[in-house]
Amino acid sequence: MARAFVFPGQGSQDVGMGKALADAFPAARAVFEEVDDALGEKLSALIWEGPKETLTLTENAQPALMAVSMAVMRVLEKEKGISLGDKVKFVAGHSLGEYSALAAAGAFSLADAARLLRLRGRAMQKAVPVGVGAMAALLGVGVDVAEKVAAEAAQGDVCQVANDNEPTQVVLSGHKVAIDRVAEIGKKYGVRRAVPLPVSAPFHCSLMQPAADAMAEALANVTVNTPVVPVIANVLAQPISDPDAIKKRLVEQVTGTVRWRECVATMAANGVTDFYEIGAGKVLAGLVKRTASTANAVSLGAPSDIDAALAALSS
């Protein structure tokens, strides 16, 4: 039996997330204070009090979700005695969650992770004018079919696979005019539904190149340590530990596909049977179960979740 800790991406945010942790545990409270200090503002107040529209802005949601994930991690480590290096074989995160995974594994300091994600969120938002880009989730088909739909919908515009989430859910990203063609084209390929996503920019496609350039510059000036356990890189779906490789893959990730289905499959093939989603929401636990049907997947975001999982994690 082996474990993996996985860290959620954008869309899992909600007002009030992490508040019960901060109220119950000094180690969690300290995480939010450290993130506030790193950003020079009270992000914690926005996380706990809203408004939701402001929290959902990419530049806020990204560091906020990382903060909640790290609050859970610090409680596990400092208050419950769970050592990541001893108890976990791999870490992985969905898009921005890869930064949370790396911070959890000691590759980034908490302050650097917060500042990088604030910059990443702003750079991604600025890369494409509002209304020019869009994203849509294709339900009922896998990545092979999604790639055919994307190629046909492009018609000279950008339309690419952004997220390969699980065997029957793939997200496309690109110019809005191309994404608008996806639903009709998808019908003949067996797409059950094409669901427009409520996002403010077309993430994980070539339109994000200005943001990738910004991240390359930022990461060049940040210390990356060797993580205590390997991280499964989004763009490779393979484990990496070398600091230079980590920086390179994080830059590629901005414009590249989040190969989440393959990341889960890689971990399962390497003996992982128990996946713990660390942070807000339960999205990844669901994706894990639909990819590795025999795996156990548990979400840890509240004090009661941690208490319920403690016996299994301690063994």
d(CA 156, CA 151): 9
- Quote the pLDDT of residue 188: 95
C-alpha dihedral (97, 98, 100, 103), degrees to nearest 10: 180
Q: What is the CATH number of the domain that holds 272?
A: 3.40.366.10
Domain match, 156 and 294 both = no
pLDDT tens per residue across span 73-128: 999 999 999 999 999 999 999 999 999 999 999 999 999 999 999 999 999 999 99
**pLDDT interval class at 1 (50, 70, 90):** confident
Over range 148-171, report the average pLDDT. Answer: 98
pLDDT in tens, 18-75: 999 999 999 999 999 999 999 999 999 999 999 999 999 999 999 999 999 999 999 9
Domain end position, chosen among 199, 233, 249: 199
Residue 135 has pLDDT above 90, yes or no: yes
Looking at residue 191, its pLDDT comes to 97
Catalytic residue check, 94: no
Tokens 């990204």 identify what position?
A: 62
Which pLDDT score is estimated for 233? 98
Peptide bond into 243 cis (omega under 30): no
Is residue 307 predicted with pLDDT exceeding 90? yes
- Tell whether 155 and 287 lie within a shared domain: no
Per-residue pLDDT, 126: 96
- Residue 107 sits in which domain range? 2-127+207-314
**Final residue of a structural domain among 159, 176, 199:** 199
Domains: count for the chain: 2
**Full-model pTM:** 0.97
Domain boundary among 148, 173, 199: 199
- From 12, 69, 204, 299, the catalytic residue: 204
Judge if 119 and 171 occupy the same domain. Answer: no
Instruction: Answer yes or no: 204 catalytic.
Output: yes
pLDDT at 197: 93
Give the N- to C-terminal CA distance of the chain in Å, as an integer. 10
Active-site entry in 95, 100, 173, 299: 95
